[in-house]
Chains A and B, each alone.
Chain A
């Protein structure tokens, strides 16, 4: 402890590399592909007209599967991978 004030060095903002940008874009690009497909073929999305549909038609909807895969990848795989990538690039 000291009463002399010192200036803490400011952390230089880390620049994200091209690899980090590409990695961060994979999940959103997949989700976007699913959304575009849903917009182009809304009749395949049974959640929009669920009456009279059986279990499998409601449970397995291809556009939603694409969105789900992209989202799971983005939220569960990418964050730790970005951390490790930035760590490696800082070394």
Chain B
């Protein structure tokens, strides 16, 4: 079984890939990005796959009911958002309101981060990152929401892409037990790296 921080880094790689795909789409525009069918499916299927991969994390890595519920919620919203975007890409879903699924994913993810972190910001690094990720997801939900209202806006498309890059950077900063800005509660344990 990999240590939890390794699992976080693998998910961070997934978020980074999502960010790069969406950034490329924002640079070239949706029409060019969708000229090849496989590209239209690229980021939604990555999102859906990350949702699937979250289930074993929920089963094997959660130490409390609250953690289990939070990871389960992330798995569900990522799969729903990925599936909705896949449906839109394939043309099987037509209403642009399906794009609200990714907005819901951001909001639910942010709230789950904030609710399931029981320690304060400077308890240790992972506590800090949980708070930061929670507020980042909630604040950055404005970009997918803007993408629903103004689908051709370069600002919202770029912001949506960069949100995933920022999230990837934050998740890459995760360590099992580590100080944050020199703070580490004695209750957190001993840092091992």
Contact = CB atoms under 8 A, between A and B. Distances in A.
Interface of A: 19, 22-23, 26-27, 30, 43-44, 56-57, 60, 62, 65-66, 68-70, 72-73, 77-78, 80-81, 84-85, 87-88
Interface stretch (B22-30, B83-91, B141-149): B22-30
Contacts, number: 68
B3 to A, nearest CB: 6
Interface of B: 2-3, 6, 9-10, 12-13, 16-17, 20-21, 23-24, 27-28, 31-33, 35-36, 39, 42, 172, 193
- Interface majority SS on A: helix, strand, loop or mixed? helix
B9 A26 contact: no
B64 to A, nearest CB: 23
B24 A60 contact: no
B23 A60 contact: no
Contacts of A19: 27-28
Given A26-B24, A60-B9, A65-B9, A81 B17 contact: no
Contact of B17 (A43, A69, A85): A69
